[in-house]
Chains A and B, each alone.
Chain A
């Protein structure tokens, strides 16, 4: 009978082993594995192809991660905490960089940058600051992002538009305008922004409170917006998707969103009908950065790739083919990038007034506390003083 069982087990093993552990064909080039999200634009693939063509030592392979950034974070964390060398190059949301650096998962790159003659000032300052922890630089930008105010220039008066573009206005002014213009030109909402309990809420709180300088005032303003009639009644479930749906379909006069929304203006609302302005207290920096896994067996190749991706050619591809902002500063004034946003005055002003979410290795926890407390306050489940107190404690 023992024999029968062992036969059974053996059969099961054979049955299962058809899964086969892949043996890759011999390749002279060193393979660099890059963990980055799925891309709806061709940019990522082109970037990889161009890099592979540009030299003969390395082949970059794309390990596709989900676009659900929370899920991607947790997946990377599992892999990195196991000290695995599964990935060589990692794409990270700016807010994870500090956390991963503090955990010792990333290779600092100052020495490589120094050797290659690269100065930090070549790159987008916000992205670089996000990847700097305890005096060491860990990342280069893949693409930066920032919060913007989109408005309908065909509805808003020239005087108001000028005021917005200059950035010299307050959230109260914005509220007044939203009230005034709501309903004009087929719109149903004055202002749309992100208020669901998720990371986007932290970005908006950062903006409303001027990077947490005036927590109480900022939250009161947010509550006033939430309960007003110029925002949608379910603003507390708004993410970027709801925001851009409302704006590109001509339902909202004002919208707070990232640069990607500009490329979506095609049918109902055309780019010519839209203006861009900085947000009253500054724009939150977002976006993605590239870092090197500390346990990578090909750190030199990994650096060569991120240097390429964050440099002139790589950023040109990301901007031209992926409609992202360039993280390589020279490209901001380069006509060939072909991104019409870069010429808009309000956009240029916005780049000058960026603010950051709290930088901390405990960022996820801080952000989570902000989200839970503010959402509770805005939905009427908690009073203002408790909320302010809890936020202050979290930010310590």
Chain B
């Protein structure tokens, strides 16, 4: 038995390592390209992982070009979206999961249908609206982000709330707590892993967004990372060195945050799990 499980464990370890290599490889390669001068990114130096003439020029370029500002914007925009969308979605999902009301299926149907439309169609009307309200070039761009994030958030949270037994709340209601109190005192802590996951998903969806920001926020000081990186080109060429350097600059801090806090993140996930 021990031998068998050992072999199994080795196999799993090999598989995991392989998986990690595959996942990391593209990023490592881009990282190596970020230290190469332009001539080595394409052509002869392209297949060697170490540059013959390593340079920090790409990094200097993009740092001067305001990539840090773009990162800050991305964090602000994604963070704001995560906070307000999760809040709105939690309220709605709780109601859908716990209350009986007419039109519930219609509401769910509408939410599902909304997430079937491609994002491009909202760009025109939202642009008109934002021009009229004078909201272009501001962080208000997070409001239309709801189109891409709210439906997912509601769906994940509803399935989650549905799994949480009702017994606890019922006793709370008997004790005279209002619905909102029940939600925040009892359900919220219990649903923490789901809410946490939802927040991450919403954050990343907003972090990825491109079309709305590039259309609504033309001012460079409001550009997010994807938009800023799309500007790293001349009329005929993409500045690959700069793109590579920006990718590294943007990814490394995210990676560090996850590594540093992964214990807390995991603890949050586990402690919130339902204990029966």
Asked whether any CB of A lies within 8 Å of a CB of B in the complex, the reply is yes
Identify the A interface with B (CB < 8 A).
Answer: 1, 4-5, 8, 12, 15-16, 18-22, 35, 37-38, 40, 63-69, 71, 75, 78-79, 81-82, 84, 86, 239-242, 244-245, 249, 251, 258, 260
Given A63-B219, A244-B237, 12 more A-B residue pairs with CB atoms under 8 Å apart are A19-B138, A21-B138, A66-B230, A67-B234, A68-B230, A68-B233, A69-B235, A75-B214, A86-B131, A86-B136, A240-B236, A260-B235
Closest-by-CB residue of B relative to A267 is B39
Identify the B interface with A (CB < 8 A).
Answer: 39, 42-43, 80, 83-84, 87, 123-124, 127-128, 131, 134-140, 142, 178-180, 214-215, 218-220, 227, 230-231, 233-238
Q: Can you list 12 A-B contacts with CB-CB less than 8 angstroms, sorted by A residue number?
A: A12-B87, A15-B83, A16-B80, A37-B235, A66-B231, A71-B214, A86-B131, A241-B238, A244-B237, A245-B42, A249-B39, A251-B43
Q: Is the interface of A mostly helix, strand, loop or mixed?
A: mixed
Q: How many inter-chain contacts with C-beta < 8 Å in the A-B complex? A: 85
Write out the residue numbers on chain A whose beta carbons fall within 8 Å of the beta carbon of B123. 78
A175 to B237 alpha-carbon distance, docked (Å): 27
> Are A67 and B87 closer than 8 Å at their CB atoms?
no
A78 to B42 alpha-carbon distance, docked (Å): 36
> Are B237 and A240 closer than 8 Å at their CB atoms?
yes
Closest-by-CB residue of B relative to A41 is B234
Write out the residue numbers on chain B whose beta carbons fall within 8 Å of the beta carbon of A8. 87
A260 to B235 alpha-carbon distance, docked (Å): 10
Q: How far is the CB of B112 from chain A (nearest CB, A)?
A: 26
Write out the residue numbers on chain A whose beta carbons fall within 8 Å of the beta carbon of B233. 66-68
With contacts A1-B180, A66-B233, A67-B234 taken as known, whether A78 is within 8 angstroms of B124 at the C-beta atoms is yes
> Are A16 and B142 closer than 8 Å at their CB atoms?
yes
> Are B180 and A4 closer than 8 Å at their CB atoms?
yes
A251 to B87 alpha-carbon distance, docked (Å): 59
Write out the residue numbers on chain B whose beta carbons fall within 8 Å of the beta carbon of A245. 42-43
> Are A67 and B80 closer than 8 Å at their CB atoms?
no
Write out the residue numbers on chain A whose beta carbons fall within 8 Å of the beta carbon of B136. 86
A249 to B39 alpha-carbon distance, docked (Å): 8
Write out the residue numbers on chain A whose beta carbons fall within 8 Å of the beta carbon of B230. 66, 68, 71
A21 to B139 alpha-carbon distance, docked (Å): 9
Write out the residue numbers on chain A whose beta carbons fall within 8 Å of the beta carbon of B227. 66
Closest-by-CB residue of B relative to A35 is B218
Write out the residue numbers on chain A whose beta carbons fall within 8 Å of the beta carbon of B219. 63
Q: How far is the CB of A131 from chain B (nearest CB, A)?
A: 19
Closest-by-CB residue of A relative to B38 is A245
Write out the residue numbers on chain B whose beta carbons fall within 8 Å of the beta carbon of A68. 230, 233
Which of the residues A1, A19, A78 comes within 8 Å of B178, measured between beta carbons?
A1
> Are B137 and A249 closer than 8 Å at their CB atoms?
no
> Are B80 and A40 closer than 8 Å at their CB atoms?
no
Write out the residue numbers on chain B whose beta carbons fall within 8 Å of the beta carbon of A81. 124
With contacts A22-B137, A75-B214, A82-B128 taken as known, whether A244 is within 8 angstroms of B236 at the C-beta atoms is yes
> Are A63 and B218 closer than 8 Å at their CB atoms?
yes
Which of the residues A78, A240, A251, A258 comes within 8 Å of B127, measured between beta carbons?
A78
Q: Among B42, B142, B220, B231, which residue has the most Cβ atoms of chain A within 10 A?
A: B231
Closest-by-CB residue of B relative to A200 is B236
With contacts A12-B84, A15-B80, A63-B218 taken as known, whether A21 is within 8 angstroms of B134 at the C-beta atoms is yes
Q: How far is the CB of A86 from chain B (nearest CB, A)?
A: 7
> Are B127 and A79 closer than 8 Å at their CB atoms?
yes
A318 to B235 alpha-carbon distance, docked (Å): 15
